Chain A
């Protein structure tokens, strides 16, 4: 796929752009939500849970980015980020609601 850049169709380029956006923005969203969920559910003191969540989030980000480029299509990349985002948001939201 390298060296033939000029011959590539527009649809391919759009798909690559879509994957990059999914990886950068969607990946960040999943990572941030994962850190919040961990912070909310870990049986640790508040400050310790926050630090653990932040440290773990970069590993989540990494996996999300790799996923975006490993899966078969750009649509699949987005789908694979949106589902965990919704789940993580629900998990974090539940903890937030229980905490009140």
Chain B
């Protein structure tokens, strides 16, 4: 660390990137999948039909259903369907048996066109990838802490990487393919620079999302240790009138959507809460859908009187710092993104994943060169190799395993959703064992080939186990189902190509590996 600023930054970039690289790879990949959370859920729960629908009609159906099935409940919660999430979800809470306790919740999924109950297969759908992305399947709050720490390391690695790689724009136009280690480094730099704004945004925003958890000192100092007071001030709860105790007739809810839209200058309602639905003092809270603009506003809501329809209160406008934090949240989540922008998010996420992956490969590749002649690798390099293989190709196989489990596990099986998740971790664990047994390239090639096979065969499996195969979905224009199948096919073909390249590079690399090149690399690459 005596060599000067850029060398020091290169050292920091190398080691921070290595230690957290495997975890960050998994976080980036699952986060990228989470941009298509609803689409993945739709594929994994094909029983719920995707149709064009109107919020008003759906809401009327939901109100009708709840009046029949949950008239005595203390609270109704209605999640309106949108183009991406076709299910109309209704929940209701019974009045608690003893005051002060929480009443029991019931949840039903309705067909937004007919109002009939739909029974989807038990699955966590895309929600699994979304949750894993920041909770890492750990108990609260450890997973969130670990992923936020990883985000901070990512931030450090990004900035130190930019400093290291000073000729950022000149180098961007130099890609030297088929040059082994040099191509990996060029690729690492190219994907890093190409989507650099995305990387900076996604990394910094992930810190902002969990800032109240990881950096609470200023809350405690400003509010004299009373964190609740801060949350009450920043996320104001809607004040709702108490129960009158007299019965009242709930007005139709659907017209409220139009009035909310006027209040929000065109904004959509995402969900509704009806408090004390049968009471004269019933109140309706309309929460704004996060998908209609970039700036996310927690708890932006309107409260109406449920019987008279009078507007009771509206949450105040966001102050500027909250709007800035809200826009980082909104940019990270990408709820506002339409199909084209959503694909762009997905591609940027993949580029980030690829940047981390190539970085890990470069770290090992440079150090392996020294041991190429003797053929014996020291333990620490072997460890990195096993982790590289399992964390990258093994993870791909594990993702495929979730989708296979979703189609193969019996619909009526108890604990079905859990077993989908278990199959992910079982397969991932097996990939570690496989990488330990199989050395180097053989491990890569075999796992990539398996991933290729599993992904390419997914559309076929879907066709064999459900009536929603590509022939039907393409004809009907169901682009969610068809897009999922086609993306799997595309990923499978990519993995097949990668496996083939790995296989060939391995054969060629044994014969010709000029010593001079490796020395040059030592000087050039960090």
- Which of B11, B321, B370 makes the CB contact (< 8 A) with A55? B321
Per a CB cutoff under 8 Å, which of B8, B160, B204, B222 touches A58?
B204
Expressed in whole angstroms, the minimum distance between the Cβ of B208 and any Cβ of chain A is 6
**Is B311 located at the chain interface by the 8 A CB criterion?**
no
Is B218 touching A48 in the complex (CB atoms < 8 A)?
Answer: no
CB pair B12–A39 under 8 Å, yes or no, is: no
- With A47-B233, A55-B324 known as contacts, the answer to whether A65 contacts B217 (CB < 8 A) is no
Cβ of B155 within 8 Å of any chain A Cβ, yes or no, is yes
CB distance from B72 to the nearest CB of A (A): 39
Question: In this complex, what residue of A is CB-closest to B219?
Answer: A50
Q: B159 near A48 (CB under 8 angstroms)?
A: no
Give chain A's interface residue range (CB within 8 Å of chain B).
Answer: 35 or more
Report whether A96 and B221 are in contact in the complex, using a CB–CB cutoff of 8 Å.
yes
User: Which chain B positions have C-beta within 8 A of A69?
Assistant: 1, 8-9, 11-12, 160
Interface string of A1-45 (1 = CB under 8 A from B): 111000000000001100100000000000111011011100011
Contact: B223 with A46, CB < 8 Å? yes
| Docked pose: A66 CA to B204 CA in angstroms | 16
- Most chain A beta-carbon contacts within 10 A, residue among B218, B222, B233, B319: B218
Is B320 a contact partner of A38 (Cβ separation < 8 A)? no
**Which residue on B lies nearest to A46, using beta carbons?**
B222
B154-173: contact bitstring with A at CB < 8 Å (1 yes, 0 no)? Answer: 01100110010000000000
Cβ-defined contact, A51 with B325, below 8 A: yes
Establish whether residues A70 and B5, one from each chain, have CB atoms under 8 Å apart when the complex forms: yes
> Which of A19, A49, A66 lies in contact with B159, CB distance below 8 A?
A66
Q: Tell me the interface secondary structure of chain B in the complex.
A: helix
Interface string of B89-132 (1 = CB under 8 A from A): 00000000000000000000000000000000000000000000
Cα distance, A72 to B2, chains bound together (Å): 6
Tell me whether A58 and B215 are in contact (CB under 8 A).
yes
Do A40 and B215 touch (CB < 8 A)? no
CA distance A72 to B328 in the complex (A): 36
Residues of chain A contacted by B1 (CB below 8 angstroms): 1, 15-16, 19, 69
Given the contacts A36-B217, A40-B222, A47-B319, A54 and B212 also touching, CB distance less than 8 Å: yes
CA distance A17 to B43 in the complex (A): 48
Name A51's closest neighbour in chain B (CB-CB): B321
In the complex, chain B residues whose CB is within 8 Å of the CB of A96: 221
A39 near B159 with CB under 8 A, answer: no
Tell me if B464 counts as interface (CB < 8 A to partner A). no
A61 and B321 in contact, given A36-B221, A49-B222 (Cβ under 8 angstroms): no
301-343 of chain B: CB within 8 A of chain A: 319-322, 324-325, 328
- Is B234 interfacial (CB-CB < 8 Å)? yes
Q: Is B367 an interface residue (CB 8 A)?
A: yes
Q: Does A90 contact B (CB under 8 A)?
A: no
Task: State A50–B9 Cα separation when bound (angstroms).
Answer: 32
B218 contacts which chain A residues (CB < 8 A)?
A: 32, 35-36, 38-39, 49-50, 53-54, 57
Chain B proximity of A29: nearest CB distance (Å): 9
Q: Which residues of B contact A50 (CB under 8 A)?
A: 218-219, 222-223, 230, 234
B207 touching A58, Cβ below 8 Å: yes
- On whether A45 and B319 interact (CB within 8 A), knowing A62-B156, A62-B159, the answer reads yes
Q: Which residues of B contact A46 (CB under 8 A)?
A: 222-223, 233
Residues of chain B within 8 A of A2, CB atoms compared: 11, 14, 366-367
| A81 CB–B CB distance under 8 Å | no
Kindly list chain B residues whose C-beta atoms are within 8 Å of the C-beta of A66.
Answer: 9, 12, 156, 159-160, 163
CB of B201, distance to nearest CB on chain A (Å): 13
Residue of A nearest to B211 (CB): A54
> Is A58 a contact of B233 with CB atoms below 8 Å?
no
Nearest Cβ on chain A to B196's Cβ, whole angstroms: 16
Q: Select A35's contact among B208, B217, B233, beta carbons within 8 Å.
A: B217
Please report the C-alpha to C-alpha distance between residue A45 and residue B318 in the assembled complex, in whole angstroms: 12
Contacts of B366 in A (CB 8 A): 2
- Contacts A3-B370, A48-B319 given; does A58 touch B217 at CB 8 Å: no
Name the one of A19, A31, A70 contacting B215, with C-beta atoms under 8 angstroms: A31
Which residues of the partner chain A approach B152 to less than 8 Å between Cβ atoms? 58, 61-62
B211 touches A92 (CB 8 A): no
Docked complex Cα distance between A57 and B5 (Å):
23
Taking the closest CB of chain A, its distance from the CB of B39, in whole angstroms, is: 32
| Beta-carbon nearest neighbor of A39 in chain B | B218
Q: Which residues of A contact B217 (CB under 8 A)?
A: 32-33, 35-36
**A44 contacts across to B, CB distance below 8 A:** 321
Chain A contacts to B: CB under 8 angstroms: 1-3, 15-16, 19, 31-33, 35-36, 38-40, 44-55, 57-58, 61-62, 65-66, 69-70, 72, 92, 96
- Return the 5 tightest CB-CB contacts between A and B, nearest first: A32-B217, A39-B218, A53-B218, A54-B211, A35-B218
Q: Which residues of B contact A (CB under 8 A)?
A: 1-3, 5, 8-9, 11-12, 14, 152, 155-156, 159-160, 163, 204, 207-208, 211-212, 215, 217-219, 221-223, 230, 233-234, 319-322, 324-325, 328, 366-367, 370
Q: Give 15 pairs: A residue, B residue, CB < 8 Å, sorted on A.
A: A1-B11, A3-B367, A35-B215, A35-B218, A39-B221, A39-B222, A46-B223, A48-B321, A55-B211, A55-B321, A55-B324, A57-B215, A58-B207, A58-B208, A70-B8
